[in-house]
Amino acid sequence: MLLKKAEECVGVHSERLAIGLALLFSNRGSVIRVMKNLRVCADCHVAMNTISKLEGGETIVRDNNRFHCFRDGLCSCKDY
Protein backbone atom coordinates (compact mmCIF):
# COMPACT_ATOMS: atom_id res chain seq x y z
CA MET A 1 0.00 0.00 0.00
CA LEU A 2 1.35 3.39 -0.98
CA LEU A 3 1.08 6.35 1.34
CA LYS A 4 -0.38 9.45 -0.28
CA LYS A 5 0.08 13.07 0.59
CA ALA A 6 -2.85 14.70 2.37
CA GLU A 7 -3.61 16.83 -0.70
CA GLU A 8 -4.03 13.71 -2.83
CA CYS A 9 -6.29 12.04 -0.27
CA VAL A 10 -8.73 14.93 -0.22
CA GLY A 11 -8.79 15.13 -3.99
CA VAL A 12 -12.19 16.79 -4.36
CA HIS A 13 -11.55 20.41 -3.33
CA SER A 14 -13.57 20.17 -0.15
CA GLU A 15 -13.77 23.93 0.39
CA ARG A 16 -15.63 24.37 -2.89
CA LEU A 17 -18.06 21.64 -1.86
CA ALA A 18 -18.55 23.29 1.53
CA ILE A 19 -19.22 26.68 -0.03
CA GLY A 20 -21.61 25.15 -2.55
CA LEU A 21 -23.63 23.50 0.22
CA ALA A 22 -23.61 26.70 2.26
CA LEU A 23 -24.95 28.65 -0.73
CA LEU A 24 -27.74 26.11 -1.16
CA PHE A 25 -28.85 26.11 2.48
CA SER A 26 -28.21 29.68 3.67
CA ASN A 27 -29.82 33.02 3.02
CA ARG A 28 -28.41 35.19 0.26
CA GLY A 29 -25.78 37.60 1.53
CA SER A 30 -25.01 35.70 4.72
CA VAL A 31 -21.40 35.19 5.80
CA ILE A 32 -19.98 31.75 5.00
CA ARG A 33 -17.12 30.43 7.16
CA VAL A 34 -14.99 27.43 6.18
CA MET A 35 -12.08 25.94 8.13
CA LYS A 36 -9.56 23.80 6.29
CA ASN A 37 -6.43 22.07 7.56
CA LEU A 38 -4.65 22.19 4.17
CA ARG A 39 -3.62 25.14 2.10
CA VAL A 40 -6.19 26.51 -0.38
CA CYS A 41 -5.17 25.62 -3.95
CA ALA A 42 -5.00 28.24 -6.70
CA ASP A 43 -8.05 26.84 -8.53
CA CYS A 44 -10.20 27.03 -5.41
CA HIS A 45 -8.92 30.53 -4.66
CA VAL A 46 -10.00 31.74 -8.11
CA ALA A 47 -13.34 29.95 -7.76
CA MET A 48 -14.02 31.59 -4.38
CA ASN A 49 -13.14 35.03 -5.80
CA THR A 50 -15.64 34.44 -8.60
CA ILE A 51 -18.33 33.11 -6.27
CA SER A 52 -17.98 36.11 -3.95
CA LYS A 53 -18.34 38.46 -6.91
CA LEU A 54 -21.41 36.67 -8.28
CA GLU A 55 -23.18 36.05 -4.98
CA GLY A 56 -22.32 39.38 -3.36
CA GLY A 57 -21.75 37.84 0.05
CA GLU A 58 -18.68 37.38 2.19
CA THR A 59 -16.79 34.10 2.50
CA ILE A 60 -14.12 33.53 5.12
CA VAL A 61 -11.80 30.56 4.64
CA ARG A 62 -9.18 29.61 7.22
CA ASP A 63 -6.43 27.37 5.90
CA ASN A 64 -3.28 26.22 7.68
CA ASN A 65 -1.41 29.44 6.81
CA ARG A 66 -3.84 32.37 6.89
CA PHE A 67 -7.36 33.71 6.78
CA HIS A 68 -8.87 34.48 3.38
CA CYS A 69 -11.77 36.92 3.37
CA PHE A 70 -13.46 36.94 -0.05
CA ARG A 71 -15.69 39.93 -0.75
CA ASP A 72 -16.76 41.46 -4.11
CA GLY A 73 -14.34 39.29 -6.08
CA LEU A 74 -11.29 40.22 -4.00
CA CYS A 75 -9.39 38.37 -1.30
CA SER A 76 -7.84 39.88 1.82
CA CYS A 77 -4.54 38.09 1.05
CA LYS A 78 -4.21 40.06 -2.23
CA ASP A 79 -4.12 36.72 -4.11
CA TYR A 80 -0.89 35.67 -2.40
Backbone angles phi, psi at 26, to 5 degrees: -120, 170
Query: What pLDDT is recorded for position 60?
Result: 92
Instruction: For the chain, give the percent of residues with pLDDT over 90.
Output: 26
- Over range 47-70, report the average pLDDT: 89
pLDDT for 69 equals 94
- Residues 21-49 have a mean pLDDT of 88
Average pLDDT over residues 26-33: 87
* Overall average pLDDT of the 25-48 stretch: 88
Give the residue ranges of DSSP H helices in 1-80: 6-10, 14-25, 42-55
Instruction: Give the contacts of 34 (CB within 8 A, at least 6 positions apart).
Output: 15, 18, 19, 22, 59, 60, 61, 62
pLDDT (average), residues 33-41? 88
The arithmetic mean of pLDDT across residues 17-37, rounded, is 88
